[in-house]
Every structure is written in structure tokens, then in C-alpha cells.
Amino acid sequence: MTGMNTQSSETAAGQSPDQSAMSKSRVLEADKSCSVPVMFLLTWALAWLVGGGILAVVSSIKLHGPGFLAGSAWLTYGRVQPASIHALLYGFGFQAAIAVGLWMIARLGQAELMGRKGILLGGAFWNLGVCLGVFGILGGAGTGHPMLEMPGFVSPLLLVSYSLMGVWALITLHFRQVRSLYVSQWYLLAALFWFPWIFIAAQSSLVFHPVRGALQFVISSWYGHAVVALWLVPVALAVLFYFIPKLLGRPLHSKHLATFGFWTMALFAGWGGVQAGAPVPRWISSVCIVGGGLMLLPLIAVGMNWWFTARGAKPAQGDFVWGFIRFAAVAFFAAMLLDIGGRTRVIGEVTDLTVFSSGVYALYFYGVFGMSIAGAVYYLVPKITQTEWPSAQLIRWHYLGSMVGTVLITAALVVGGVIQGLRLNNADIAFVDALAKTVPFLGLSTLGGLILVAANVAFLLNLVRLLTVCCRCCCCLPWNGTANGNKAAAVGANL
């Protein structure tokens, strides 16, 4: 991974038209080669996004209306809540990230995506694994470790299918035509390695050979932190570092600043998860507080880089992709600042053990990760399928809905969490009364969740309509092309 920042400095001022045409055709080839596996992963990802979103709304309603669907063990809050988190994170988050990552690796390297069948197989097994995992949680077989609830037998399946997909990303990267690596590739490559590392480390010591006592808490909290800081955020940063300069039509301000941001993040992002006051030796939570403070460094570096890149620039032709990207970039700063602040002792005394952390997670997940992925999807799908989005109206709804929904959920949970914390810390207020003031905010977050589900239905609908248009044009299903990658490319070229 040390070779990652070997960004070539030979970015010459001119290019012969010949070369440029060649690179253009290679880009086209790379795009087309992605179509089948990426569309497969994306379709399933969006299906999980809608499904997980519905589960999230159900669990959110239960928080303020405990009688809702309370009769069944399968739908009790303590199972629906983790099920929704896992459906969204592993069903949507991972598949969408891998889909976008594969495309970006192929596109930036101007190389055809390799191992398409392997990726399809991996994607199929991944979906099977997440499905089993979510049903396992609803059936009461959860492991009891937040973010790692899926029953133990699922994780080998997930790891194998992840490797099936990840290996081909690496091979595609290896055979890239453009030798120099762009910032986005660093983040993607890092995330690609970080996930199996944190997953194996946490799974093996929690599920397969459970460690004793409170150590489990340290490891599961660390995993919950790391899966955001070392997977969701790097993937989102890869997307943002790609699209901000691209849509603004100017080079990124500084690759050195990007290097600084990348390595400080690689060094400090993993230090977190255990809040102050937790029943473990004090140094562990102190280290997490310091790690949070040091995360200001990559935050500043990334912020400066984007700021100087974007200053005074306007995106090309009122691009709707830009809306998503801009929102995700702003959300990144808001989420990081809330996260770092929440870790300090002063704020943590109020916000720890309240819904505040769910609000920050929602901002990371929907705001930073979801919005940047959505922006990327809107850009890449027309390229790889050679089909325009059927409805601009649905995109507008999706944009507005996800923006309003994300802001509503985050604001409601953050403000509600602070109120909950302040009132719980005042022992003169009885517990039930302390919580009562937070209930309206929980209602608001349910509303936000509903809006998000509606927005994501629009997203999915648009994608499905695009697929049917695409299929009708080709007079054949796109995945008929899997049998022969070249044929798929040829079909795309005929459009």
C-alpha cells in the first residue's frame, strides 16, 4: 500500500489527438465492461436500501409508539432495529460501494473490468448472506454485538463473496492502462483492504473465539466505529475526490495535500469507539478522545483541498449529480465535527448513551455515504448502459427527498439526543419524564425516514425503468451478455 501515492507527475500540458481518441475509446470500453456486474449489484443494493429503509421506519415508529406491531417476537424493537441497520449497511452499503468502486477502478485505469462472472457470483452469494443474516436477526439468532449481529454462519459466506468481488477489483487495478493512481484509487484500495481486516479481527474475537468479558465491548465498539471510519467514509471520499474536480472541470488543488489527508486518516481513523466513562480501563477511552482530535487533521486537509478546488467554480450545465456531491461534501464536515465533538468528555457526558449517536450515524450513512453513492450512480449508470435516465422528475424527487429526509433524521436525533442527555443527567427528573421530551423528536425522525423511503423508491423506480428501457432496446436481457463479455460490450456499442 506504500506504493499508492505514486501519483505520476507527468501530466503533460498537451496530448496528441490520437492519444486522446485512444484513451477515450478505452474509457468507453471500460464503462461498457462494467455494465452487467455493476447494474446487478446496484439493483440489489437499491432493493436493500428500500427494504432496509422500511424496516428502519418500523423500528423508528416503535421507539415512540411501543405498541406498534408489538405482538410478534420477529418484529420486536430489539430485533427490527439491528435488522434494519444490517440490511442497510451490508445490503445497500457494501453492494453499492463495491459497484461504484469497481466502475471507478475500471474507469480511472481505463481498463476493462475483469472477472465479471466471478463478481456476479460473489454478488449473488453476498445477497444470500445478507438475506440469511437479516432473517437470522429477526428470528432471534443475533450475536448481540451491534453492527455484527448477523449469525456466525453467515460471516464466512460474506467474506468469501466479498473476496470474489474484491479480488477482481485488484486484478482490474493491476492491469490498468493508466499507471498513475488518482486520489480516489488510494481510498478505494485502502477501503478494500480495511474491511476484511476489521471484519475478520472483530468476527474472530467476538463470534468464533469469543474473548472474555468487557473486552468484547471494546472490540465491538471499535468495529462499529471502524466500519464507518474505515469503510463508509473512505468510499465516500473516493467518490467525492473523483467527482468534485471532474464536475467542476478543473484539477484537484493539490495531490500533496490529498496525500497528507489520506495518511493522517489512515493513521488516526481507527482510534475510536469507546466513550468516556465506559467500564474499561481509562486509557482506552482517552486514546479514543485523542484519536478523535487528531481526525481534525485529515478533515482540514480534505476541506482545504476541496475548497481551493471548488472556489469560484460552477459545475457544468446545472448538473444534477453535482447536487448530490455537494450535499455529501458538506455532510462529511458536519458528520465529522459532530462525531469528534461527541467523543469529548464535556459533550459526551450529555450525548453518550442517547440517540445522538444514531443521528450522527444517520448523517454518515445517508448524508455522506448515500448521497455520494447516489451522485455516482446517476453519473455512471447512463455511461455503462448507454441509456439515459428515463425520468428527470424522479431524480428531482429523489434529490429533494433524500436531502430533506437526511436533514430531518439527523437534526431530530441530534437535538433529541442532546435533550435526552440533558434531562437524564438531571436526577430530579424521573426517567419516564426525561424521555418524554425526546419523543416528539423521535416522531420527526420517523417522518424523515418515511421521506427517505419515498425518495429511495423513486431512485429504485428510475433504475428499474432504465433497465427495462435498456433491455427493450437491446431486444435481449443485458445479462445474456455475461456469457461473453465482448458481446455485452458490442451490444452496448450498438445503442
Residues in the chain: 495
Query: By CB under 8 A, is residue 293 in contact with other proteins?
Result: yes
Residue 368: CB minimum distance to other proteins, A: 19
Instruction: Considering only residues 204 through 263, tell me which ones interact with other proteins, judged by CB under 8 A.
Output: 205, 210-220, 222, 241-246, 248-260
Q: Which long-range contacts (CB under 8 A, 24 or more apart) does 346-353 make?
A: 348/275, 348/276, 348/277, 349/276, 349/277, 349/421, 349/425, 350/418, 350/421, 350/422, 350/425, 351/417, 351/418, 351/421, 352/275, 352/276, 352/277, 352/421, 353/275, 353/421, 353/424
Q: Out of 164, 278, 376, 395, name the contact with other proteins by CB under 8 A.
A: 278
Interaction between residue 7 and other proteins (CB under 8 A):
yes
- Yes or no: say if 66 and 149 are a contact pair by the CB < 8 Å rule: no
Instruction: Give dist(CA 362, CA 409) in Å, integer.
Output: 7
> According to the binding rule CB under 8 A, does residue 179 interact with other proteins?
yes
Contacts of 444 (CB under 8 A, 6+ apart): 408, 411, 412, 416
Residue closer to other proteins, measured from CB, 43 or 177 = 177
Q: Binding string to other proteins for residues 43 to 62, with x set by CB under 8 A, is what?
A: -------------------x
Spatial separation of the C-alpha atoms in residues 421 and 409, rounded to whole Å: 18
In the set 199, 271, 322, 397, which binds other proteins (CB under 8 A)?
A: 271
Residue 285 φ/ψ region, left for φ over 0, alpha for ψ in the -120 to 50 degree band, beta for the rest: alpha
Amino acid sitting at position 290: V
> Given the rule CB under 8 A, which of 121-129, 178-186, 404-412, 468-476 is the region that contacts other proteins?
178-186
Name which position in 125, 132, 135, 146 contacts other proteins (CB under 8 A): 146
Take residue 397 and report the three cell numbers written for it.
424527487
Instruction: Based on the shown chain and the rule CB under 8 A, indicate whether residue 277 belongs to the binding site for other proteins.
Output: yes
Which one of residues 6, 156, 286, 396 is an interface residue with other proteins (CB under 8 A)? 286
Q: What is the CA radius of gyration of the chain?
A: 22
What string marks each residue from 372 to 411 as x (binds other proteins by CB under 8 A) or -?
----------------------------------------
Q: Of residues 2, 66, 209, 483, which one binds other proteins by CB under 8 A? A: 66
Of 75-134, binders to other proteins (CB under 8 A) are: 76-79, 81-82, 107-108, 110-112, 114-115
Supply the minimum distance, in Å, between the C-beta of residue 387 and other proteins: 16
Question: Scanning residues 420 to 439, which ones bind other proteins (CB under 8 A)?
Answer: 420, 424-427, 430-433, 435-436, 439
Q: Does residue 35 interact with other proteins by CB under 8 A?
A: no
Whose CA is closest to 482, among 122, 36, 168, 123?
A: 36
First to last CA, the chain: 40
Q: How far apart are CA 94 and CA 101, in angstroms?
A: 10
Q: Which triple of cell numbers denotes residue 313?
A: 467554480
Smallest separation (angstroms) from other proteins to the CB of 14: 7
Q: 377 or 458, CB closer to other proteins?
A: 377
Q: How many CB atoms lie within 10 A of CB 226?
A: 23
Site string for other proteins, 300-339 (x = CB under 8 A): xx--x---x---xx--x-----------------------
Find the part of the chain contacting other proteins (CB under 8 A) among 49-57, 322-330, 349-357, 393-401: 349-357
Q: Which residues in the 458-487 window bind other proteins by CB under 8 A?
A: 485-486
143 binds other proteins (CB under 8 A): yes
CB of 392 to other proteins, least distance (A): 17
Closest CA to 186 of 253, 265, 124: 265
